[in-house]
Structure 1
Amino acid sequence: MNETKQVKDLLDTPIARRRFLSGGATVAAVSFLGGGVMSSCGKDDDDKRNPPEDNPDLGLGGGEQPDPTGPNPTPKEPLLGFNRIDPVLDETFDWMAVPEGYNAQVFFSWGDPVVAGAPSMLESTQHTAADQEKQAGQNHDGMHYFPIDGSSEHGLLVMNHEYINQWSLHPAGDTLVNGVRPQEEVLKELAAHGVSVLEVKKNGKDWSIVSDSKYGRRIHGQTKMMITGPAAGTDALKTVADPEGRTVYGTYNNCAMGYTPWGTYLACEENFQGYFGNKDETDFESRREHKRYGIGTKNRYDWDTVMERFDATPKANLDHQGYVNEPNRFGWVVEIDPFDPKSDPVKRTAMGRLVRECATPSVMDDGKMAFYMGDDSRGEYIYKFVPKGTYDPKKSSKENGALLDEGTLYVAVFYEDGTGEWAALEHGKNGLTALNGFRDQADIVINARSAADHVGATPMDRPEWVAIHPESKDVYVTLTNNSRRGNGDARQTVNAANPREANLHGHIVKIAEANNRADAVSFEWDIFLMAGDPSAENETLKGDIKGDIFSSPDGLYFDQDGRLWIQTDYSDSSDNNVNFGLNQMLASDPETKEVRRFFVGPKGCEVTGITKTPDGTSMFINVQHPKLHFPDRSGKNPPRSSTILIQKDDGGIVGA
């Protein structure tokens, strides 16, 4: 077999020289047996986290499985039980489309109250920074439903607010006065980032937000957070304001997310690099923890004109060079306990510093687990973190949370023969030594991208969301798109797992771990589907979708029955996307690979964020950055990102 340049380069890496899969040898056969569930636990009698046996959304679902080879197997119900809807090609469409027999309603929008006593943005005469700290932030994204006492009618809905739209956040737009941003504007922008925790209840068919909930909470750009793991307390995380390197304020650009079997939420810091600037170009060029992550010389929102911590330019006359290390304190997984509103969020550095999209859990019967993560940039990598210890449902969330501070960070290496390996990013292994520029494990996790470069990880087409099949544990990853493939850049060379040049429409990769183990170090892989338009003249844009077409898969989610929900994020104004219509959500049967369109959002939006109640009858998704007047179509108010509640008219399972 002829090898590509990428594969030849991999042969020179430490991991390739140790590769035990050779000459097309396969990993152990994947077992498709269902397993027991690893679910959330209670700290004490007052803890309302879901007991393990009642929460299929946190694991596999237990019990013996029927033998399909028996003499009278029960006929299998079709997985996709709804009628497809057509794409929406109307450029003025400003609402939502769902199949016949379903209803979709706006449930929670930017500016709605979160904390008890907070005003509504639409009802207050002034929408201040202090108000915004108690209201829904902008640009809803990843989210998760946490049942209370196992209930599908009472729980906590936790969601990210990824970024801000300055033009709508400030009535007169953002301003810069004599080169300085007004402090009130900056504080309001900080407050519109972060995470919302809502208590939600169902009464009959109607859901509502508990307005006086003790759980209602906003985590935002000024919230105090702790730093733990190998990087905590090291020089690279110290600043003039935090000489201990263990306390940080705020979280930004939280895109997708994860959750834990002990009932906590994992917010993931994605494009944090734009919030900081290093004006010293010479220093910037030599500082890999800045340059390799895309931190430039200018702050995206000019926050550094008001708050010095966003100026990452080294200051020689200050301890720890001022705030040069502040960017190193972002790009982490942030663990939040939604059931304890007084707890400090925790940045878990053992899981690596990335432009991270998600931290999707896969939990096994024996308590071992892995968290899968995409680094959402062109030519970046797929990672997983395997804690050293095992989940114990008898322990508190705080005790189990410590599992995220010790373990092995891996990066994926894809081979042309359909096999792959997880290369350990561990000091002393695979050439990650001081001799090769990696001082210790803290240096590796802070510079995870550079470590992944060194071990020969496979560059991917913008790895975004990861979803785990609830039975097989197969791992599905969206590769949203990559217009730079084949442009001569060594990092953008076409490879087997990313086979298209100028990959405008993206694809989905499926990974089957060896022996069906989340902690495996080898896997088999294939391409689940290539998105595209079969009417395109260019062969590389056609794709191979069986059913309804789409572009740029982004959000990805398996429900309890094994339906794969796919959400899209593309420019609905681009000539390349004209036949797809507006952004949408589709469902796929992972066995037949059939794809059906289920939801279409308003003009200009991205469809993102998805979660279901454990019984599958209520689905929540997010409509981000709509462009016209959604959801207040009077035209009096700016468009607002919103959470959408979808239910079946007959109260049945969504999608069935």
Structure 2
Amino acid sequence: MKTPSITAMSYHDGDTDTNRSGNPHIDDLVSARYSRRQTLLGGLQAASAAVFGGMLLSACGDGDDEAALVDAGASASTTSGKLVTLNGSVTGPAESFGWAQVSGPTVALSGAQTTTATFTAPSVAAATPLVFRLSSTSRDGVRSQADTTVTVGPAQLGFTAVAKSLADIVAVPAGYSVTVLYRLGDPIAANVPAFANNGADTNFALRAGDHHDGMSYFGMAATGNAPDATNSTRGLLALNHENITQAYLHPNGASGMGSGGVRPEAEALKEMECHGVSVIEIVRGAVGWSYVPNSGFNRRVTPLTPMSFSGPARGTPQLRTRHSPDATTGRGTINNCANGTMPWQTYLTNEENWAGYFRRDAGDAAIRSAAAAAKENVSLARYGIREGAGGNYKWTSVTPADAASTVYARWNATAAKDQPADGSGDFRHEPFQFGWVVEIDPFDPASTPRKRTALGRMNHEGCQIGRTITGVRPAFYMGDDAQNEYIYKFVSVTPWTAADASAASRLAVGDKYLDAGTLYVARFNADGTGQWMPLVFGQGPLTPSNAAYAFADQADVLVNARLAADALGATRMDRPEWTAVNPTTGEMYCTLTNNSSRTAAGTDAANPRAYSDPKSTGGATSGNANGHVIRLRETGDTSEATSFAWDIYAFGAGSDLDATNINLSGLDGSNDFSSPDGLWFSLPSNVAGQTTPVLWVETDDGAFTDQTNCMLLAAIPGTVGDGGTKTVVNTLGGASSSVTIRIGKAPGTTLRRFLVGPKECEITGIHSTPDGRSIFVNIQHPGENGSPANITSNWPYNQSGTAAAGNRPRSATIVITKDDGGVVGF
């Protein structure tokens, strides 16, 4: 209908704007649409969280304007190292969605752009909340979000203890898998045939050696040859080959081993090449870990490999031989036991029971005395090379095809009457060329390994570097593995520089830190304190006037470190083996494996047990049959300290032994062990090595083998002084003693058995990838008491099922992974 014209009216029906306010026009509202909806969303989330929990509907509308419904899931609790899954959901029109961390220690989210993300719970000292937000954005930009909280508690061991076992298999906890990676005889170069394992195989310079032992993983860049300390899918594995199971290496066992027998050259060469070190490239693919048989990085270092000497003893007359008249070079390394992983990406291999390989005929002492070298007799005897020794494998009986070869004659340390007394015409000084820490650059197969004489000569077990702190001189901790020997540390003269960790010339960095410094030996006092005593020529008894051994100079002190430690009054220990340093506290742990010669009268606070341990199969072991783990904390928490506090972390014992005087740590069926040997802390590059790092303990046992094969245990230890004191009463052989000890807090559930190995093996060698999701462990000499006619183990052939009869056992490296992909141990 037409509106009539009325002059009195000031407006017409709907045609006139009478709203003079400053309120926005609808056009303004339309243009501001998205920002208004975002503001509404934020307010709704804050107001509605208590009602809807982790699920929020952020806005309403029609068609494409409708927001998604987001649910971040319920809050949860976990512990450090566990793999956590965030299960959220997005319902409705979502163009994109994903997770982000809102608060708490930063973690790496995997699958962040999905509704199901995962992360590894970070290392924390106390319960710590982490907040995560799941957000969704619709096609027209409407955003929805919801939060959830995961509270992380301190680390706990996250597996059920493996039972003791006498089975012929590697047993690990439920939820874990074992892969056999690298076995005796595996080829490491092109055109080397597969290992037949019937005794006919040759060319072990290009095959895996025997008796796998200490081991380190070095990450590599995804392509090329550069180190990458963060890479957990490609790397180099360096590992020791300590010894051999001689019978299995030949078709019908070894020939010529009887009295007056002569060894065939082919057998002796094979045995020699089976010792030493392997460096191999390994990769993790879609189906797991494997080694790269034809990699250009693959390398064997054997007793035949050229070596150079560095440090204070380089060129000293005691290293002079027919092969090296100037005493600067040598041939090979042997009986390599534990190891060291240097932050500048080199590998330390350590010569342990090398003395047993040498022959020394009757009359040698008289020849040396006549040549005014009588004090060499004192040294040789102190290191266990006595007249009448024939050498472990009789390699000196070989008549080589090459008449000029000294490959076998070098193992005869007898002085030749018609040769110069300075040792330049024979091999009387060859034993002085062994017993060292040897540094290898795993990334340069053409490099010459260096024997670091500043670290002293002994039965070197491990050599572990302590924490590296810029401006502080680093320390390197070592055990001398023999009954009643000592614990040592070397402190470099050079303060640590962080840039050296990525230096291109790795052995040059080794020169910087390992060739000059002070070697110390430990004395443990009954009150829980101790001193590091310097092995420095001219100080105290380390002089030419010393009655027991006349030290000539610093090189003489280092070549004869045992004699120097004797003179200083160091504490005689129950076979010091591996050392390990807690990456958080800097405390050093050392395994004291056992000591059959420890008597009740000879006990002390640091070595307090002497007892008889009966076996169910008959007989008994005595002394300190089960061993213990000692630990120390440097004064001021600095590697440069010359004093320390100490206690005993754990005593090995069967849970059935006397709790008052033998099973002092209160071990039960889940964690009782004997003869601790290998020792290692998880890496600080992952949560297993942070805040409360995991300690791994391996055994090499003869006292507990009536109940179980050797094992690997995991622990979350406390700190020095967290326990108290106990008094131990020892009764052995009709004698008795009472000793007050410093003992750590009982391990309880913080120590747990993780692995049990196959028959007659030793568990030794351990390292991991930087992310802690793959752990490498060595199984040494399974079935070692057998022979080709009496094979006592079929491992590793039976690891995945029943093995065919007749398969000879093989030492091997295994990889242990968690089935859910998490950090091993948690």
TM-score (norm 2): 0.68
Matches within 5 A, 1:305-324: 305-306=397-398, 307-319=408-420, 320-321=422-423, 322-324=426-428
Are the equivalent residues in 2 in contact too, given 1:533–1:543 (CA < 8 A)? no
* Partner residue, 1:248: 330
Amino acid of the structure 2 residue aligned with 1:631: P
Residues 1:600 and 2:713 aligned together: no
Output the CA distance in 2 between the equivalents of 1:634 and 1:648.
Answer: 29
Residues 1:176 and 2:256 aligned together: yes
* Partner residue, 1:22: none
Which of 510, 513, 520 is the aligned partner of 1:410? 520
Amino acid of the structure 1 residue aligned with 2:233: E
Q: Residues 106-153 of structure 1, C-alpha deviation per residue, up to 9 Å, x if partnerless?
A: 11110011234432222899412xx21100000000000011122011
Matches within 5 A, 1:287-436: 287-296=377-386, 297-306=389-398, 307-319=408-420, 320-321=422-423, 322-366=426-470, 368-392=473-497, 393-394=499-500, 395=503, 396-402=505-511, 403-436=513-546
Output the CA distance in 2 between the equivalents of 1:265 and 1:497.
Answer: 31
* Partner residue, 2:171: 97
Output the CA distance in 2 between the equivalents of 1:193 and 1:165.
Answer: 11
State the identity %. Answer: 44
Amino acid of the structure 2 residue aligned with 1:424: P
- Aligned length, in residue pairs: 580
Q: Residues 412-452 of structure 1, C-alpha deviation per residue, up to 9 Å, x if partnerless?
A: 01001100010000111232112211110110011000000
- Mark the runs of 5 or more structure 1 residues left unpaired by the alignment: 1-63
Say if 1:597 and 1:69 are closer, same or farther in 2 by CA, change over 3 A: closer
* Partner residue, 1:470: 583
Q: Which moved more, 1:341-350 or 1:172-181?
A: 172-181
Say if 1:510 and 1:636 are closer, same or farther in 2 by CA, change over 3 A: same
In structure 2, the residue corresponding to 1:327 is in which secondary structure? helix
In structure 1, the residue corresponding to 2:808 is in which secondary structure? coil
In structure 2, the residue corresponding to 1:444 is in which secondary structure? helix
Are the equivalent residues in 2 in contact too, given 1:289–1:328 (CA < 8 A)? no
Amino acid of the structure 1 residue aligned with 2:603: V
Say if 1:537 and 1:123 are closer, same or farther in 2 by CA, change over 3 A: closer
Matches within 5 A, 1:30-45: none
Say if 1:391 and 1:607 are closer, same or farther in 2 by CA, change over 3 A: same
Amino acid of the structure 1 residue aligned with 2:246: Q
Output the CA distance in 2 between the equivalents of 1:341 and 1:324.
Answer: 31
Q: Residues 347-406 of structure 1, C-alpha deviation per residue, up to 9 Å, x if partnerless?
A: 111110011101011132215211111001110000011111134424431321112111
Residues 1:626 and 2:782 aligned together: yes
* Partner residue, 1:85: 162
Are the equivalent residues in 1 in contact too, given 2:215–2:238 (CA < 8 A)? yes
Amino acid of the structure 1 residue aligned with 2:776: F
Output the CA distance in 2 between the equivalents of 1:198 and 1:611.
Answer: 15
Q: Residues 167-223 of structure 1, C-alpha deviation per residue, up to 9 Å, x if partnerless?
A: 011112211286321111111111000000011111135111122211100001111
Output the CA distance in 1 between the equivalents of 2:274 and 2:127.
Answer: 55
Q: Which moved more, 1:104-113 or 1:391-400?
A: 391-400
CA offset at residue 260 of structure 1?
1.2
Say if 1:147 and 1:70 are closer, same or farther in 2 by CA, change over 3 A: closer
Q: Which moved more, 1:146-155 or 1:332-341?
A: 146-155
Matches within 5 A, 1:441-520: 441-486=554-599, 493-501=602-610, 502-520=623-641
Amino acid of the structure 2 residue aligned with 1:639: P
Output the CA distance in 2 between the equivalents of 1:514 and 1:384.
Answer: 14
In structure 1, the residue corresponding to 2:775 is in which secondary structure? strand
Are the equivalent residues in 2 in contact too, given 1:626–1:639 (CA < 8 A)? yes
* Partner residue, 1:616: 772
Q: Residues 231-251 of structure 1, C-alpha deviation per residue, up to 9 Å, x if partnerless?
A: 111111001221111111111
In structure 1, the residue corresponding to 2:558 is in which secondary structure? helix
Which of 342, 359, 362 is the aligned partner of 1:260? 342
* Partner residue, 1:552: 675
CA offset at residue 345 of structure 1?
0.7
Output the CA distance in 2 between the equivalents of 1:168 and 1:132.
Answer: 14
Q: Residues 45-86 of structure 1, C-alpha deviation per residue, up to 9 Å, x if partnerless?
A: xxxxxxxxxxxxxxxxxxx99785999996523331111121
Are the equivalent residues in 2 in contact too, given 1:111–1:137 (CA < 8 A)? yes
* Partner residue, 1:13: none
Are the equivalent residues in 2 in contact too, given 1:466–1:475 (CA < 8 A)? yes
Amino acid of the structure 2 residue aligned with 1:303: W
Say if 1:305 and 1:472 are closer, same or farther in 2 by CA, change over 3 A: same
Output the CA distance in 1 between the equivalents of 2:256 and 2:599.
Answer: 40
Compute the RMSD of aligned alpha carbons. 2.3
CA offset at residue 104 of structure 1?
1.0
Amino acid of the structure 1 residue aligned with 2:154: E
Are the equivalent residues in 2 in contact too, given 1:112–1:121 (CA < 8 A)? yes
Q: Residues 516-552 of structure 1, C-alpha deviation per residue, up to 9 Å, x if partnerless?
A: 1112111000011111123225954433144510111
Output the CA distance in 1 between the equivalents of 2:705 and 2:265.
Answer: 41
Output the CA distance in 2 between the equivalents of 1:652 and 1:529.
Answer: 28
CA offset at residue 281 of structure 1?
4.9
In structure 1, the residue corresponding to 2:567 is in which secondary structure? helix
Are the equivalent residues in 2 in contact too, given 1:117–1:212 (CA < 8 A)? no
For CA contacts below 8 A with separation 6 or more, give which structure has more relative contact order: 1
In structure 2, the residue corresponding to 1:86 is in which secondary structure? coil
Output the CA distance in 1 between the equivalents of 2:599 and 2:197.
Answer: 52
Are the equivalent residues in 2 in contact too, given 1:274–1:299 (CA < 8 A)? yes
Say if 1:360 and 1:67 are closer, same or farther in 2 by CA, change over 3 A: closer
In structure 2, the residue corresponding to 1:213 is in which secondary structure? coil
Amino acid of the structure 1 residue aligned with 2:495: T
Which of 208, 214, 219 is the aligned partner of 1:147? 219
Amino acid of the structure 1 residue aligned with 2:462: C
Are the equivalent residues in 2 in contact too, given 1:479–1:554 (CA < 8 A)? yes
Asked which structure has the greater CA Rg, the reply is 2
Which of 574, 578, 600 is the aligned partner of 2:706? 578
TM-score (norm 1): 0.85
Output the CA distance in 2 between the equivalents of 1:609 and 1:282.
Answer: 38
Are the equivalent residues in 2 in contact too, given 1:288–1:447 (CA < 8 A)? no
- Mark the runs of 5 or more structure 2 residues left unpaired by the alignment: 1-121, 131-149, 221-227, 367-373, 399-407, 611-622, 719-744, 784-792, 798-802
Are the equivalent residues in 2 in contact too, given 1:280–1:314 (CA < 8 A)? no
Which of 576, 589, 595 is the aligned partner of 2:716? 589
Say if 1:644 and 1:66 are closer, same or farther in 2 by CA, change over 3 A: closer
In structure 2, the residue corresponding to 1:309 is in which secondary structure? helix
